[in-house]
Amino acid sequence: MKMDHALRALTGIVLRETLRTLRQRGRLFSAIVRPLVWLAIFAAGFRSVLGLSITPPYQTYVLYDVYVVPGLAAMMLLFHAMASSLAMVYDREMGSMRLLLTAPLPRWYLLAARLLASVVVGLPLVYLFLVIARYWDVRPPALGYVAVFPALLLSGLMLGAFGLLVSSVSTQMENFAGVMNFVIFPMFFASTALYPLWRLAEAGPVLATIAAWNPFSSAVELIRFALYLRFDAGSALVVLFCLFAFFLAAVLGYDPGRGLWSRRPGG
Protein backbone atom coordinates (compact mmCIF):
# COMPACT_ATOMS: atom_id res chain seq x y z
CA MET A 1 0.00 0.00 0.00
CA LYS A 2 1.60 3.25 -1.18
CA MET A 3 1.24 6.31 0.99
CA ASP A 4 -0.01 8.59 -1.80
CA HIS A 5 -2.69 6.05 -2.79
CA ALA A 6 -3.77 5.68 0.82
CA LEU A 7 -4.01 9.45 1.36
CA ARG A 8 -5.89 9.92 -1.89
CA ALA A 9 -8.42 7.27 -0.90
CA LEU A 10 -8.83 8.75 2.58
CA THR A 11 -9.33 12.25 1.16
CA GLY A 12 -11.91 11.01 -1.31
CA ILE A 13 -13.86 9.08 1.31
CA VAL A 14 -13.86 12.00 3.76
CA LEU A 15 -14.94 14.43 1.02
CA ARG A 16 -17.73 12.11 -0.13
CA GLU A 17 -19.04 11.68 3.41
CA THR A 18 -18.87 15.42 4.06
CA LEU A 19 -20.76 16.35 0.90
CA ARG A 20 -23.40 13.71 1.49
CA THR A 21 -23.97 14.91 5.05
CA LEU A 22 -24.18 18.57 4.03
CA ARG A 23 -26.84 17.70 1.46
CA GLN A 24 -28.96 16.04 4.14
CA ARG A 25 -30.17 19.21 5.82
CA GLY A 26 -32.89 17.43 7.75
CA ARG A 27 -30.31 15.13 9.31
CA LEU A 28 -28.13 18.09 10.28
CA PHE A 29 -31.08 19.96 11.74
CA SER A 30 -32.29 17.00 13.79
CA ALA A 31 -28.76 16.27 15.01
CA ILE A 32 -28.65 19.70 16.66
CA VAL A 33 -32.28 20.07 17.71
CA ARG A 34 -32.60 16.65 19.37
CA PRO A 35 -30.09 17.24 22.21
CA LEU A 36 -31.18 20.87 22.62
CA VAL A 37 -34.78 19.75 23.17
CA TRP A 38 -33.61 17.36 25.86
CA LEU A 39 -31.52 20.09 27.43
CA ALA A 40 -34.23 22.75 27.35
CA ILE A 41 -37.19 20.64 28.50
CA PHE A 42 -35.64 18.38 31.10
CA ALA A 43 -32.96 20.67 32.53
CA ALA A 44 -35.07 21.89 35.45
CA GLY A 45 -36.04 18.36 36.39
CA PHE A 46 -32.47 17.17 36.28
CA ARG A 47 -31.40 20.00 38.57
CA SER A 48 -33.84 18.87 41.25
CA VAL A 49 -33.29 15.09 41.23
CA LEU A 50 -29.57 14.63 40.73
CA GLY A 51 -28.33 15.87 44.08
CA LEU A 52 -24.68 15.84 45.03
CA SER A 53 -21.87 13.35 44.69
CA ILE A 54 -18.34 13.12 46.06
CA THR A 55 -16.94 11.47 42.93
CA PRO A 56 -14.70 13.78 40.86
CA PRO A 57 -15.41 15.89 38.96
CA TYR A 58 -18.84 16.03 40.58
CA GLN A 59 -17.75 17.49 43.91
CA THR A 60 -16.94 20.80 42.17
CA TYR A 61 -19.54 20.89 39.41
CA VAL A 62 -22.88 19.72 40.78
CA LEU A 63 -25.34 21.23 38.34
CA TYR A 64 -27.16 19.27 35.69
CA ASP A 65 -24.71 20.26 32.98
CA VAL A 66 -22.05 17.97 34.46
CA TYR A 67 -24.34 14.99 34.15
CA VAL A 68 -26.58 15.69 31.20
CA VAL A 69 -24.61 17.74 28.68
CA PRO A 70 -21.74 15.25 28.24
CA GLY A 71 -24.31 12.47 28.02
CA LEU A 72 -26.17 14.33 25.29
CA ALA A 73 -22.89 14.93 23.44
CA ALA A 74 -22.27 11.17 23.54
CA MET A 75 -25.85 10.62 22.40
CA MET A 76 -25.14 12.76 19.33
CA LEU A 77 -22.15 10.55 18.52
CA LEU A 78 -24.29 7.44 18.96
CA PHE A 79 -27.09 8.67 16.70
CA HIS A 80 -24.56 9.84 14.13
CA ALA A 81 -22.85 6.45 14.19
CA MET A 82 -26.14 4.65 13.61
CA ALA A 83 -27.10 7.04 10.81
CA SER A 84 -23.74 6.39 9.15
CA SER A 85 -24.35 2.67 9.51
CA LEU A 86 -27.67 3.08 7.75
CA ALA A 87 -25.82 4.82 4.93
CA MET A 88 -23.47 1.84 4.78
CA VAL A 89 -26.42 -0.53 4.37
CA TYR A 90 -27.82 1.71 1.64
CA ASP A 91 -24.45 1.81 -0.13
CA ARG A 92 -24.27 -1.96 0.00
CA GLU A 93 -27.71 -2.39 -1.54
CA MET A 94 -26.91 0.16 -4.25
CA GLY A 95 -23.59 -1.54 -5.03
CA SER A 96 -21.31 1.40 -4.20
CA MET A 97 -20.02 -0.42 -1.13
CA ARG A 98 -18.82 -3.30 -3.27
CA LEU A 99 -17.08 -0.81 -5.57
CA LEU A 100 -15.31 0.77 -2.60
CA LEU A 101 -14.14 -2.53 -1.17
CA THR A 102 -12.74 -3.67 -4.52
CA ALA A 103 -10.25 -0.79 -4.52
CA PRO A 104 -6.59 -1.96 -4.55
CA LEU A 105 -6.17 -1.17 -0.86
CA PRO A 106 -6.51 -3.35 2.24
CA ARG A 107 -10.07 -3.91 3.32
CA TRP A 108 -9.31 -2.84 6.88
CA TYR A 109 -7.90 0.46 5.65
CA LEU A 110 -10.94 1.26 3.54
CA LEU A 111 -13.28 0.53 6.44
CA ALA A 112 -11.08 2.55 8.80
CA ALA A 113 -11.14 5.48 6.36
CA ARG A 114 -14.92 5.23 6.16
CA LEU A 115 -15.10 5.15 9.96
CA LEU A 116 -12.78 8.14 10.36
CA ALA A 117 -14.72 10.11 7.74
CA SER A 118 -17.94 9.58 9.65
CA VAL A 119 -16.41 10.79 12.91
CA VAL A 120 -14.77 13.82 11.29
CA VAL A 121 -18.16 14.90 9.94
CA GLY A 122 -19.91 14.38 13.28
CA LEU A 123 -17.51 16.17 15.64
CA PRO A 124 -18.30 19.75 14.47
CA LEU A 125 -21.97 19.11 15.26
CA VAL A 126 -21.08 18.09 18.81
CA TYR A 127 -18.99 21.21 19.29
CA LEU A 128 -21.82 23.34 17.93
CA PHE A 129 -24.12 21.78 20.52
CA LEU A 130 -21.62 22.49 23.31
CA VAL A 131 -21.37 26.13 22.22
CA ILE A 132 -25.15 26.56 22.02
CA ALA A 133 -25.49 24.90 25.43
CA ARG A 134 -23.74 27.90 26.96
CA TYR A 135 -27.08 29.68 26.52
CA TRP A 136 -28.35 27.42 29.35
CA ASP A 137 -25.38 28.43 31.54
CA VAL A 138 -23.49 25.26 30.71
CA ARG A 139 -20.01 26.72 31.00
CA PRO A 140 -17.21 24.21 31.46
CA PRO A 141 -13.64 25.53 31.69
CA ALA A 142 -12.40 27.05 28.46
CA LEU A 143 -9.63 24.46 28.23
CA GLY A 144 -12.28 21.79 28.58
CA TYR A 145 -13.34 22.34 24.98
CA VAL A 146 -9.79 21.46 23.95
CA ALA A 147 -9.31 18.62 26.42
CA VAL A 148 -12.55 16.95 25.37
CA PHE A 149 -11.51 16.62 21.73
CA PRO A 150 -9.51 13.37 22.16
CA ALA A 151 -12.35 11.95 24.25
CA LEU A 152 -14.93 12.85 21.60
CA LEU A 153 -12.73 11.44 18.85
CA LEU A 154 -12.05 8.17 20.66
CA SER A 155 -15.69 7.76 21.70
CA GLY A 156 -16.89 8.58 18.20
CA LEU A 157 -14.55 5.99 16.72
CA MET A 158 -15.73 3.36 19.19
CA LEU A 159 -19.41 4.04 18.55
CA GLY A 160 -18.77 4.28 14.80
CA ALA A 161 -17.00 0.91 14.86
CA PHE A 162 -20.01 -0.52 16.68
CA GLY A 163 -22.30 0.93 14.01
CA LEU A 164 -20.02 -0.53 11.36
CA LEU A 165 -20.40 -3.92 13.00
CA VAL A 166 -24.19 -3.54 13.10
CA SER A 167 -24.24 -2.67 9.40
CA SER A 168 -22.15 -5.76 8.59
CA VAL A 169 -24.80 -8.08 10.03
CA SER A 170 -27.88 -6.22 8.75
CA THR A 171 -29.30 -7.87 5.67
CA GLN A 172 -31.79 -5.22 4.49
CA MET A 173 -32.56 -1.55 5.06
CA GLU A 174 -36.09 -2.48 6.17
CA ASN A 175 -34.66 -4.46 9.07
CA PHE A 176 -32.10 -1.85 10.00
CA ALA A 177 -34.64 0.62 11.44
CA GLY A 178 -35.72 -1.99 13.97
CA VAL A 179 -32.11 -2.81 14.74
CA MET A 180 -31.36 0.88 15.37
CA ASN A 181 -34.23 1.20 17.85
CA PHE A 182 -33.24 -2.03 19.53
CA VAL A 183 -29.66 -0.79 19.88
CA ILE A 184 -29.86 2.97 20.45
CA PHE A 185 -32.46 3.31 23.17
CA PRO A 186 -31.31 0.46 25.46
CA MET A 187 -27.70 1.58 25.05
CA PHE A 188 -28.58 5.19 25.86
CA PHE A 189 -31.03 4.77 28.72
CA ALA A 190 -29.17 1.87 30.39
CA SER A 191 -26.08 4.03 30.81
CA THR A 192 -24.74 6.93 32.85
CA ALA A 193 -25.68 9.44 30.14
CA LEU A 194 -28.47 11.01 32.22
CA TYR A 195 -27.81 9.83 35.76
CA PRO A 196 -24.62 8.84 37.59
CA LEU A 197 -24.04 5.21 38.47
CA TRP A 198 -24.72 5.71 42.16
CA ARG A 199 -28.18 7.11 41.34
CA LEU A 200 -28.91 4.12 39.11
CA ALA A 201 -27.82 1.81 41.91
CA GLU A 202 -30.47 3.38 44.12
CA ALA A 203 -33.08 2.60 41.46
CA GLY A 204 -31.99 -1.04 41.16
CA PRO A 205 -28.81 -3.10 41.22
CA VAL A 206 -29.63 -4.80 37.91
CA LEU A 207 -29.87 -1.51 36.05
CA ALA A 208 -26.67 -0.27 37.68
CA THR A 209 -24.84 -3.46 36.68
CA ILE A 210 -26.01 -3.16 33.08
CA ALA A 211 -24.95 0.49 32.97
CA ALA A 212 -21.55 -0.35 34.44
CA TRP A 213 -20.90 -2.93 31.71
CA ASN A 214 -22.36 -0.77 28.94
CA PRO A 215 -19.52 0.52 26.70
CA PHE A 216 -21.57 3.65 26.06
CA SER A 217 -21.27 4.51 29.75
CA SER A 218 -17.49 4.44 29.43
CA ALA A 219 -17.70 6.80 26.46
CA VAL A 220 -19.95 9.14 28.45
CA GLU A 221 -17.64 9.14 31.46
CA LEU A 222 -14.58 9.72 29.29
CA ILE A 223 -16.25 12.78 27.72
CA ARG A 224 -17.65 13.98 31.04
CA PHE A 225 -14.33 13.95 32.86
CA ALA A 226 -12.37 15.40 29.94
CA LEU A 227 -14.78 18.31 29.57
CA TYR A 228 -13.96 19.30 33.15
CA LEU A 229 -10.21 18.72 32.81
CA ARG A 230 -10.08 15.26 34.36
CA PHE A 231 -8.92 11.98 32.88
CA ASP A 232 -10.73 8.69 33.52
CA ALA A 233 -8.13 6.03 32.69
CA GLY A 234 -10.53 3.14 33.26
CA SER A 235 -13.08 4.48 30.81
CA ALA A 236 -10.36 5.22 28.27
CA LEU A 237 -9.12 1.62 28.41
CA VAL A 238 -12.64 0.26 28.00
CA VAL A 239 -13.34 2.52 25.02
CA LEU A 240 -10.04 1.55 23.38
CA PHE A 241 -10.67 -2.15 23.90
CA CYS A 242 -14.22 -1.92 22.52
CA LEU A 243 -13.01 0.13 19.56
CA PHE A 244 -10.53 -2.55 18.48
CA ALA A 245 -12.96 -5.39 19.22
CA PHE A 246 -15.86 -3.82 17.29
CA PHE A 247 -13.66 -2.82 14.38
CA LEU A 248 -12.04 -6.25 14.10
CA ALA A 249 -15.47 -7.88 14.13
CA ALA A 250 -16.69 -5.43 11.47
CA VAL A 251 -13.69 -6.17 9.24
CA LEU A 252 -14.41 -9.87 9.53
CA GLY A 253 -18.10 -9.21 8.84
CA TYR A 254 -17.29 -7.37 5.63
CA ASP A 255 -14.96 -10.12 4.44
CA PRO A 256 -16.58 -11.63 1.30
CA GLY A 257 -15.29 -15.04 2.28
CA ARG A 258 -16.96 -15.05 5.68
CA GLY A 259 -20.43 -15.14 7.15
CA LEU A 260 -23.48 -13.31 5.88
CA TRP A 261 -21.60 -10.90 3.62
CA SER A 262 -20.78 -13.61 1.11
CA ARG A 263 -24.45 -14.54 0.79
CA ARG A 264 -25.90 -11.06 0.34
CA PRO A 265 -26.91 -9.66 -3.01
CA GLY A 266 -25.10 -6.42 -3.85
CA GLY A 267 -22.47 -7.07 -1.16
pLDDT profile of the chain (267 residues), mean per 10: 73 79 74 77 54 41 63 90 80 67 76 88 91 80 93 95 84 65 83 80 83 93 92 94 94 67 47
For residue 205, the tally of other CB atoms under 10 A from its CB is 10
Residues 235 and 152: their CA atoms lie apart, in Å, by 13
pTM for the model stands at: 0.82
What per-residue confidence (pLDDT) applies to 263? 46
What per-residue confidence (pLDDT) applies to 50? 47
Burial of 221 (0-12, 13-18, 19+ CB in 10 A): buried
What per-residue confidence (pLDDT) applies to 253? 83
237-241 long-range Cβ contacts below 8 angstroms, 24+ apart: 239/154, 239/155, 239/158, 239/215, 240/154, 240/158
Could you tell me which of 93, 59, 267 has the C-alpha nearest to residue 175?
93
What per-residue confidence (pLDDT) applies to 51? 45
Please, where are the H alpha helices in the chain? 3-23, 25-50, 64-94, 96-101, 107-132, 144-169, 173-189, 197-203, 205-213, 215-227, 233-253
What per-residue confidence (pLDDT) applies to 192? 86
Contact indicator for 200, 192 with CB cutoff of 8 Å: yes
- One DSSP character per residue, 55-74 reads STTTTT--SHHHHHHHHHHH
Residues 71 and 75: their CA atoms lie apart, in Å, by 6
What per-residue confidence (pLDDT) applies to 156? 94
> If you count them, how many residues does the chain have?
267
What per-residue confidence (pLDDT) applies to 195? 76
What per-residue confidence (pLDDT) applies to 62? 44
What per-residue confidence (pLDDT) applies to 10? 78
What single-letter DSSP state applies at residue 255?
A: -
